[in-house]
Amino acid sequence: MSGGVKDNRNLCIKPSSFTYNKTTPFFAIYYNYLSFENSMNSVLYIIISNVAVLSCLVPFLMLFSRKMRQVTAYRVLGVYWLFNGLIHFSDIYFFLSFRDTKLDQLLNYYNVLDTPLALLIFACASSGRHRKNLLLSIFLFAVLEVVMITWKGYETISGFGFTGFGVFVVIVYSITGLVQYMRKMEYTSFENSMVFIYGALLFAYGSFLIISLFLHIRGNTPGNSRDSYLLYYISLLISAVITSLGLWSYGLRRHPGMAT
């Protein structure tokens, strides 16, 4: 939303989608933010990034409600957002010492799971032919990842082209979910909450794609890096909040038509 800029995720979208190679413009952003020329911008970045990372944990924490745990799609969604929080945990002010450690680097490999996990959320919320198409897409994407990693290495998966393809797939299925929702005349509380999820992931991955294209085209200048990384965390925060509102609305208005 997933996300995403540091290696991804995304969204989600997310920094884990970017390569961990420090020579690339994406990962370079990760190292540039502490050198912001304007101290106010540094403070703003720290506040927004920390709040955004912590907000990623909210959907997972909502699984402590038994109502939420009963829905498979929400369980997958909670794990998805938990991973998004974990891959950014070293950006939290009090955990900066974990940067560049083996644990931090292991989390960068989450980008391999990012797109399949996002599609799995949609599959768990769907039925019939649409679910079969989603499961087939997950399988084919996973096979493609294995082939590319075996053939070209992990950095191919983290590159702009492959990352962009995964983001595009999630965007397409997010739009498909929204279109299917609008075609119906009556909605269950689960469907009403899922429209928040589709919208949140569409916003996250769409923002991620725009920011990535901007960096890819304009280059990684100090100004571009600073602004793009800040915008990324703003989009991550908004996406996590929208997701949490969707889950919260389901918990408030749960009635017959409950999902499983």
pLDDT of residue 14: 43
Residue 125 near residue 177, CB atoms below 8 Å: yes
Point out the least confidently predicted range of 21-30, 42-51, 110-119. Answer: 21-30
- Specify if 38 maps to a domain: yes
- Specify if 4 maps to a domain: no
pLDDT of residue 140: 94
Taking residues 125-148, what's their average pLDDT?
A: 91
- Specify if 6 maps to a domain: no
- Specify if 48 maps to a domain: yes
Number of domains in the chain: 1
Instruction: Summarize pLDDT for 8-45 with one digit per residue, the tens.
Output: 433 333 444 333 333 334 333 434 444 434 554 677 88
- Specify if 105 maps to a domain: yes
Taking residues 108-129, what's their average pLDDT?
A: 88
Instruction: Summarize pLDDT for 180-230 with one digit per residue, the tens.
Output: 988 887 788 888 899 999 999 999 999 988 888 877 777 666 556 667 888
pLDDT of residue 96: 66
Domain interval for residue 35: 25-252
Higher per-residue pLDDT: 187 or 122: 122
From residue 211, give the alpha-carbon distance in Å to each of 21, 40, 49, 173.
18, 22, 16, 20
- Specify if 3 maps to a domain: no
In this structure, which amino acid lies at residue 7? Answer: D
Q: What is the pTM of this model?
A: 0.78
- Specify if 202 maps to a domain: yes
Measured CA to CA, the distance from residue 17 to residue 158 in angstroms comes to 6
Residue 119: CATH number of its domain: 1.20.1070
- Specify if 10 maps to a domain: no
DSSP string for residues in 120-174:
HHHHHT--HHHHHHHHHHHHHHHHHHHHHHHHH-HHHHHSHHHHHHHHHHHHHHH
